[in-house]
Every structure is written in C-alpha cells, then in structure tokens.
C-alpha cells in the first residue's frame, strides 16, 4: 500500500508543476512571473491579461489537481484522493521545474475539493467570488475561504470513519494556501493591499501589441 501513496504523491506533485499561468501567458510571448505581482496564478493573469486568459488558467489549474486527486482515489480511495490533491497544490505553489515560483494554490485547491465534494467546492467558490466582488480584495477572499474549508469539513464529515484524516488534510491545505498569501496578509494589515476594479479588467489582451 505504501508504494501506492508514493506514486500518488509523486504524480500529484508533477501534475502540480504544470503551470497554466505560465503556459497561457506564453501564448502572448511573456513570462507572467515578470509582470504584476510576479505570481503565476489566476489573479495575476487576470490583472495582467484579462478575463479569458484568467479563466483558462483557473480551469487548467483546477483540472490538474482534480486529475491528481482522481488518480489518488483510484489507487487508494479517499485518503489517496487527499494525498494526490494536496501534493498537486504543493507542486503548483513550489514547482521544481519552474524555479519553485508558482501560484498561491487557490485554483489548484478548488480542483481537489471538487474531486472530494463538488457541492462544497461550488459553495466555497461562491463565498470567494462574493467577498472579492464586495471588497475588491481577491487575497482577502482567498484567505477567508481557505480558513472556512476545515470548518465546513468538520460539519460535513463528523460521523465518518476517516473524519480526522479529512480534517487534518483540510487544515494542512488551508495552512498552505494562507501561508502562500503571507505577503498579502501583511499588506492588508498595513492598509496597502491592491484592490481589483473588476469593471476595468479587459476580456483579453490586445494581441496586435508587442
């Protein structure tokens, strides 16, 4: 059984290394990590390139962790699902093939949660969209949603035989995504975090430029 978890962990991490932000931005002949926040995730793609490239990044990053979690479930059930999805998030945030410069894990975490319980994933996504829309702070929305995930898991799986497994992984996932937002937390505390004006975000960049 141990070899199965080893395969799941390695496969999950390697899948996480597939950075959709970098791939999408390369279509516009740019390295997304050299623009905006320097992050390769969905939010920086949104700020830099617009809605359509950001949506492609979101879907692609969610799908890779969904695939890792699904492989984990196939090999070892729900515990394997959690290991695969979590390792994909780690691979996304700290990708060895991209100089350990990745995203902050939210889109990738969404794919893992969707594989575990899609109604919970949609509910948490709704919370994030609502907070981001009301405040303009995507980072705040991500931090709140991450913190909320273990709470939701605690309510949903209290009678499960794997309750502590679910809760432990939920706490670790939340800790990873919140830790990845540590610079945003400092800026939020200092009152100089950047807001996003969603009305000013273009659909896609002008491909005739550059």
Among the residue ranges 31-35, 112-116, 186-190, 200-204, the one predicted with the least confidence is: 200-204
- What is the pLDDT at residue 32? 93
In this prediction, residue 208 has a pLDDT band, given cuts at 50, 70 and 90, of: very low
**pTM, rounded to two decimals:** 0.91
Q: What is the mean pLDDT of the chain?
A: 93
Cβ atoms 129, 114 nearer than 8 A: no
Helix, strand, coil share (%) of the chain residues, nearest 5: 75, 0, 25
Q: Where are the beta strands (DSSP E) in the chain?
A: none
35: left (phi over 0), alpha (psi -120 to 50) or beta: beta
Q: What mean pLDDT is predicted for residues 91-112?
A: 94
Q: What is the pLDDT of residues 117-144, one digit of tens each?
A: 999 999 999 999 999 999 999 999 999 9
Report the C-alpha gap between 150 and 22 in whole angstroms: 30
Q: What's the pLDDT at 209? A: 47
Which residues are CB-neighbours of 142 under 8 A, at least 6 positions away?
104, 106, 128, 177, 181, 184
Q: Percentage of the chain with pLDDT > 70?
A: 98
What b/e sequence results for 146-163 when a residue is b if at least 16 CB atoms lie within 10 Å of its CB, and e otherwise? beebbebbeebbeeeeee
């Amino acid at each position: 059984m141990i070899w199965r978890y080893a395969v799941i962990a390695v496969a999950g991490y390697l899948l996480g290394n597939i950075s959709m932000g970098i791939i999408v931005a390369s279509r516009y002949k740019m390295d997304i990590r050299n623009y905006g926040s320097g992050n390769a995730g969905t939010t920086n793609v949104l700020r830099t390139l617009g809605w359509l490239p950001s949506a492609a990044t979101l879907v692609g990053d969610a799908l890779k962790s969904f695939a890792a979690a699904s492989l984990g479930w196939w090999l070892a059930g729900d515990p394997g699902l959690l290991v695969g999805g979590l390792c994909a998030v780690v691979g996304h945030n700290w990708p060895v093939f991209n100089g350990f410069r990745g995203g902050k894990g939210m889109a990738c975490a969404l794919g893992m949660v969707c594989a575990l319980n899609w109604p919970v994933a949609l509910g948490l996504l709704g919370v994030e969209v609502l907070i981001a829309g009301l405040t303009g702070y995507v980072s705040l929305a991500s931090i709140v949603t991450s913190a909320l995930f273990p709470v939701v898991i605690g309510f949903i799986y209290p009678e499960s035989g794997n309750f502590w497994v679910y809760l432990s992984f939920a706490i670790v996932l939340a800790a990873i995504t919140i830790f990845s937002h540590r610079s945003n937390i400092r800026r939020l505390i200092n009152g100089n975090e950047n807001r996003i004006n969603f009305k000013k975000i273009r659909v896609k960049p002008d491909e005739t430029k550059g």
